[in-house]
Amino acid sequence: MQEKMLWYWINNLTGIGHAAITGLLNYFDSLEEVYKASSNQLSKVLSLKQAEFLTQSKGDWVERDLERLEKMSVKFLWKGHPDYPDKLLNLYDAPYGLYLRGGLPVEGQHSIAIIGARKADYYGLEMAEYFGRELAKKGVSVISGLAEGVDGHAHKGALKGKGYTLGILGCGINICYPKENYGIFEKMLLTGGVLSEYGLDIPPRAGLFPLRNRLIAAMSDGILVIEARKKSGSLITVDQGLEQGKDIFAIPGRLGDSLSEGCNELIRSGAKIVTSIEDIMEEWGEISLEDTEFQIHRKNALVKIEKMVYSVLGLEPKYIDIIIEETQLDAGQLLPVLMRLERQGYIKQIRPNYYCVAL
């Protein structure tokens, strides 16, 4: 039996997990020996029920599955395969099998995991997209979990920045969860990649997501947290990243805001505070001031009244009455300015009469 088929077989047996495979490989000289072993031999390592199941699990289903993977352009990787990511080999529980659609990050290229709240607010989503885009422009691979909220917007930003982005799933390689991210999922297959340790048709389950977080941490050089509650799942990824010696970054948030508690606590505990792309890039010795002058150039291109209006706006949407109050302009003066700024792409109206800076 081919090596690929053997590894696929052992990775897709119900009730035979990582610990069981490790035990078998430590006891037998090869995976082929495991495949040929009797239930009596296998019971030296496994429970009798597992051993009997293993001996009865042989069949042409392996070939059928591998054919299906090939038709879906899914690559099956196992430890020892030349394309198996080196960064995962350092994990004590590195998956014995992986499923890949698209491509992996380029070796030697810096990569960052951007993670945060699923129910992020407008500011968090804007920050995720902004940092995903600007880091991608600088050649940094953007890694996340393709979940709703911060994850999806980080991937979206990287795609807009025409860079590489990798999504690591907590479900089968052929399942996009949530379905709302399907458009991003499809685009990532063309210019990035999607990776999972779960094979075909494995539905998303709560217990699978914390497990995949160790892969997100391992595949990255650093982890950027954008909006996280005090007991956020993102902090699990941070803990795993710390164990693996990764750089930890966090964007500060408002005091008293529950979505900011996790990030503020990380900063207090020693994570690097991030207020610009350069806060991340300087850790890796690749500072470029060219992109940071973007907003300055924008402001210089505006006439005086436009600059005044632009200067009172930020990433948080602001109601038009507040803008009138802060600029001391009446509605007749302000509205044409807002329309010009929006038309030129400097600001955007996210809902009627609420304006913010467009990144």
Cα 35 to its chain centre, rounded Å, is: 36
Give dist(CA 32, CA 270) in Å, integer.
Answer: 48
Q: Are strands 141-144 and 247-250 parallel, antiparallel or unpaired?
A: unpaired
Give the residue-averaged pLDDT of 87-107.
Answer: 93
Mean pLDDT of the chain: 90
What is the three-class DSSP state of 247? strand
Q: Is 134 exposed, middle or buried (0-12, 13-18, 19+ CB in 10 A)?
A: buried
Q: pLDDT above 70 covers what percent of the chain?
A: 95
What are the domain boundaries of the chain?
A: 1-63, 111-288, 293-357
Q: How far apart are CA 154 and CA 133, in angstroms?
A: 7
pLDDT at 215 over 80: yes
Give which of 234, 140, 142 is closest to 188, Cα–Cα: 142
pLDDT (0 to 100) of residue 300: 55
Query: Under 8 Å CB-to-CB from 127, ≥6 apart: which residues?
Result: 226, 227, 251, 315
**Which residue matches tokens 């005086």?**
304
Question: Is the whole model's pTM more than 0.85, yes or no?
Answer: no
What pLDDT does residue 301 have?
A: 57
Mention every residue, 6+ apart, whose C-beta is less than 8 A from residue 196. 98, 99, 168, 169, 170, 171, 172, 173, 212
What is the per-residue pLDDT for 176?
95
pLDDT number for residue 315: 82
Q: What pLDDT shows up at residue 302?
A: 67
User: In Å, what is the CA distance from 218 to each residue of 27, 64, 330?
Assistant: 28, 32, 54
pLDDT higher at 172 or 285 = 172
Considering the four listed CATH numbers 3.30.230.70, 3.40.190.10, 1.10.10.10, 1.10.8.60, the one that applies to the domain covering 293-357 is 1.10.10.10
Residue 293 has pLDDT above 60, yes or no: no
Q: Which of the four pLDDT bands, split at 50, 70 and 90, describes residue 286?
A: low
pLDDT interval class at 314 (50, 70, 90): confident
State the average pLDDT over residues 34-50. 94
Cα-based torsion angle of the residue sequence 159, 160, 161, 164 in order, rounded to the nearest 10 degrees: 0
Averaged pLDDT, 310-323:
89
The confidence score (pLDDT) of residue 295 equals 47
Task: Output the pLDDT for position 237.
Answer: 92
The topology (CATH level 3) of 1-63 is DNA polymerase; domain 1 (1.10.150)
Give 3-state DSSP helix, strand, coil % of the chain, rounded to 5.
50, 15, 40
Mean pLDDT value across residues 272-289: 80
Q: Cβ contacts of residue 7 below 8 Å, gap of 6+?
A: 31, 76, 78, 96, 97
Strands 222-226 and 111-116: parallel
Q: Residue 110 pLDDT > 50, yes or no?
A: yes
CB distance 104 to 216 below 8 Å: no
More confident residue, 298 or 220: 220
What is Dmax (Cα atoms) for the chain?
Answer: 87
Average pLDDT rounded to a whole number, residues 125-147: 95
28 phi, psi to nearest 5 deg: -95, 155
**DSSP H/E element including 273:** strand 272-273
Query: Given a cut of 80, is residue 290 above it in pLDDT?
Result: no
pLDDT interval class at 285 (50, 70, 90): confident
**Which one is predicted more confidently, 285 or 102?**
102
Q: Is the pLDDT of residue 289 over 70?
A: no
User: Do the domains at 111-288 and 293-357 have one common CATH topology?
Assistant: no
Q: Which fold has domain 111-288?
A: Rossmann fold (3.40.50)
Check if the beta carbon of residue 226 is closer than 8 Å to that of residue 112. no
187 band by pLDDT with thresholds 50, 70 and 90: very high
